[in-house]
Amino acid sequence: MKLEEYVYRGAKKLRCGYTTGSCAAAAAKAAAEMIFTGHIAETVRLMTPKGIMLDLDTVDVGIGDEVASCAIVKDSGDDPDVTNGVKVYTSVRLISSGVRILGGTGIGVVTKAGLDQPVGEAAINSVPRRMIAGAVMEIAEKYGYSGGFEVTVSIPAGTELAQKTFNPRMGIEGGISVIGTSGIVEPMSNTAVVETIRAEANIRRAAGQRNMLLTIGNYSEDYVQKQLPFSLEHSVTCSNFIGEAIDIGMELGFESILIVGHIGKLVKLGAGIMNTHSSWADGRMEVLIICGLLAGADTGTLKKLPDCATADAAMDILDGAGYLERTAEILSRRMDSYLRGRVHDEIPVGALAFSYKRELLVKTSLADELIRAITEEENG
C-alpha cells in the first residue's frame, strides 16, 4: 500500500516512503504473527518512530514449524533511493529467550570502528533493531508468549546495490545497511547525506585521526591524489554540506579541519555560504566582484563578471586584467574569517581552492600548516 504522506520541497509536493528499517520491522511482525496463527498475514500494521502508521502488504510468505518468513517491498516515495522496490525479507524463529537479530543475504557486515554497530556485526542500525525487537515483542504480548525470537533480515539484491552506495568506502562489506531513524523516507531530505558525513567522520576519528580532511567530491579527491602529500585515507566527503561537516568535526573532537575543493564551490565561503548547492545559494560572481573591487579592479572588468557561467571564466577575466593575484588574496582572507567564525576560533581551520587551469588558486592562512599536520599524522 502506498503511503499517502507528503512533504514540500520548494514548490514541489513529494510523496514520502518508508525505510528499510520499517520494512524489516514490519516483515518481522508479520512473520511472528504467522508463527502463532498458522495463517498467512497478507497485511501488517506498524507504528513508526515518527508516529506515522504504516499498513503494508506482505509478499513471498512461508510458514513452518515455529518459524515463518515474508518480505515487504521497499517504497521510497518520490525519493531517488537505490533501494526503492527491493524486497526486504525477515525470517523469524522461536528461541528460548531474548531477541537475536542477524543479517542474512545482502546485508553488509561492519568492518571499521566508528559506525552505528560494532565491527563484525550486521549493518542493521540501532533504530531498526529497536523497531524489530519492539514489533516481535508486541506479538509475544498479544499471544502470551514468554520465550524469545531469532530474526534474520535479508535483502537479496543488497550485494549488488551496495556498489552504488558509500558502504564499501565506509567499511560496510558484502551488502547494504538497514537504516532509518524515523521509519519514514522524506524525499530530497538532507538528513541522510549529513548522517553519511557523520558516519564517515566517526570512522576516521575512531581510527585515531586527529586532523579532519574534508573533500567536496571527485574533483577534490583527484586533486588530493595528484597534488598533496597525503592519501585519501584521511578524507571525509562532505559534498555541499561544508558547514554541517565542520560542526560534526567539532562535535567529534578533531583538532583541526582542512577543506579542499574547486574554486566554483569554495568561492562561496567568501560570503559565509556554508551549503554550496546552487539551490541553497549562489553568490559566486557577487563574491568575486566584491573581492575584485577591493583589489582595485576597474569598473569595466568587474562589469564582465556577472555574465560568466563559471568561477573559472571569471578568474580568466581577472587574470587578463592583472587583478587575479590580489583578488585571490582578498578572497582568502574573507574565507578565513568566515571559517574561523564557524569554529569560534576554537581549533585551526583552513581551505585550499583549486581550478582546472590553475592548480592552486586560493589558500587560506593556515592551509600549509594543516597540510603538514595531516602529512605528519599519516606518516606516523
**Terminal Cα-to-Cα distance of the chain (whole angstroms):** 55
Q: Which three cell numbers stand for residue 324?
A: 587575479
Question: Which CA distances in Å does 146 have to 34, 94, 194, 198, 232?
Answer: 17, 10, 40, 39, 51
Given this model, what pLDDT does residue 258 score?
98
- As a dihedral over the C-alpha atoms of residue 216, residue 220, residue 222, residue 223, rounded to 10 degrees, the angle is -170
pLDDT in tens, 138-157: 999 999 999 999 999 999 99
Given this model, what pLDDT does residue 172 score?
93
| DSSP annotation string for 55-105 | EEE-EEEEE-SSEEEEEEE---TTS--TTTT-EEEEEEEEESSSEEEEE-T
Given this model, what pLDDT does residue 278 score?
79
Strand partners, 4: none
Strand partners, 362: 353
pLDDT in tens, 82-134: 899 999 999 999 999 999 999 999 999 999 998 999 999 999 999 999 999 99
Given this model, what pLDDT does residue 165 score?
83
Residue among 41, 31, 195, 57 at smallest CA distance from 126: 195
Whole-structure pTM value: 0.80
**Residue 51 predicted with pLDDT over 90:** yes
pLDDT in tens, 256-271: 999 999 999 999 999 9
**Residue 1 predicted with pLDDT over 70:** no
**Average model confidence (pLDDT) across the chain:** 93
How many C-beta atoms lie closer than 10 Å to residue 229's C-beta? 12
pLDDT in tens, 119-128: 999 999 999 9
Average pLDDT over residues 321-340: 97
**Residue 357 predicted with pLDDT over 90:** no
pLDDT in tens, 183-209: 999 887 778 789 889 999 999 999 999
C-alpha 108/C-alpha 307 separation (Å) is: 49
C-alpha 189/C-alpha 8 separation (Å) is: 10
pLDDT in tens, 276-299: 987 788 999 999 999 999 999 999
**Residue 9 predicted with pLDDT over 80:** no
Q: Which three cell numbers stand for residue 209?
A: 585521526
Given this model, what pLDDT does residue 372 score?
97
Contact 14, 77 (CB under 8 A): yes
**Residue 244 predicted with pLDDT over 70:** yes
Q: Please report which residue ranges of the chain form alpha helices under DSSP H.
A: 20-37, 126-142, 158-161, 167-170, 191-206, 218-227, 242-252, 263-266, 284-294, 299-304, 311-320, 324-342, 367-379
Question: Which CA distances in Å does 310 have to 5, 114, 264, 313?
Answer: 39, 38, 7, 5
% of residues, the chain, pLDDT over 90: 81
Average pLDDT over residues 53-76: 96
Domains of the chain, first to last = 6-185 (3.30.2110.10), 196-379 (no CATH)
C-alpha 24/C-alpha 92 separation (Å) is: 11
